[in-house]
Structure 1
Amino acid sequence: MLELIRTNDPVLISFVESLLRDAEIGFFVADQNMSILEGSLGILPRRVMVDREEAERARQLLRDAGIEHETRPDNDNG
């Protein structure tokens, strides 16, 4: 899986989840349960992960939604 976004913003994560779900793109929110350990302070960022095969489609979806500035650089070297 590749990291699509990394953020502390729960509203942004919810929006991205909704976009991906509606587009039927599989995803996983990593570090979501870390909020329990940090006391829900929002210090630790959550990561939205997508399958390699869906990464470009997911990035295009975020571009179309006007939030491309939130995407992580494509650092996949293989």
Structure 2
Amino acid sequence: MKELIRTNNAVVLSFATSLLNDAGIHSLIADQSMSVLEGSLGLLPRRLLVEEDRAGEARRLLIDAGLEAELRTER
């Protein structure tokens, strides 16, 4: 899995996940259960992960949707 977005903005994660699902790209939001530890304050970021072989396609889709500023830099 490759990390595309790391944020504590639930709206961005929801929008990105919806776009990816509509395109048939499987995604996973990691660290959701960390809210139990932090007391649901939204301090710890969640990570949006996609399959390695679809990461390029997912990145282009999110850029086209205006989420370029949210994307992690490629390594």
The Cα shift of 1:44 comes to: 0.3
Counterpart code for 1:63: I
Deviations 1:13-53 (A, max 9, x none): 11111011101101111001111111110000000001110
TM-score by length of 2: 0.96
Partner of 2:55: 55
1:15 equivalenced with 2:26 (yes/no): no
1:31 equivalenced with 2:12 (yes/no): no
Partner of 2:42: 42
The Cα shift of 1:74 comes to: 1.2
* Distance in 2 separating the partners of 1:13 and 1:7: 8
* Distance in 2 separating the partners of 1:36 and 1:21: 26
Gaps of 5+ in 2: none
SS at match of 2:49: strand
Q: Which runs of 4+ in 1 moved over 3 A?
A: none
SS at match of 2:55: helix
SS at match of 1:72: coil
Equivalent residues, number: 75
1:64 equivalenced with 2:64 (yes/no): yes
Greater fraction of residues in helix: 2
